[in-house]
A = this chain, B = another copy of it.
Amino acid sequence: MNKTRVEFFSDGVFAIAITLLVLEIKVPESGNIATGLLNLWPSYLAYAVSFIVIGAIWINHHAMFDWIARIDHQLLLLNTFHLLFIAFLPFPTAVLAEAFHTSSGRDIATAFYAGTLTVIGVLVNAMWWHAASRRELLHEAVSPELARAIGKRFLLGPAGYSLATILAFVNPWLSIAMFIGLNVYFLWPRRPEVVARKSRAPRKSRT
Q: Is A95 a contact partner of B37 (Cβ separation < 8 A)?
A: yes
- Smallest distance from the beta carbon of A184 to chain B beta carbons, Å? 10
CA A99 to CA B12, docked complex, whole Å: 31
Segment among A18-26, A138-146, A150-158, A173-181 that sits at the interface with chain B: A18-26
Q: Is A20 a contact partner of B23 (Cβ separation < 8 A)?
A: yes
When the two chains form the complex, which single residue of B7, B13, B27 contacts A5, counting CB atoms closer than 8 Å?
B7
Report how many copies the assembly holds: 4
Report which A residues bind B (CB closer than 8 A). 1-2, 4-5, 7-9, 11-23, 25, 27-28, 30, 32-34, 37, 47-48, 51-52, 55, 58-59, 62-63, 66, 73, 76-77, 80, 83-84, 87-91, 94-95, 98-99, 102, 104-105, 108-109, 112, 187-188, 190, 203, 206-207
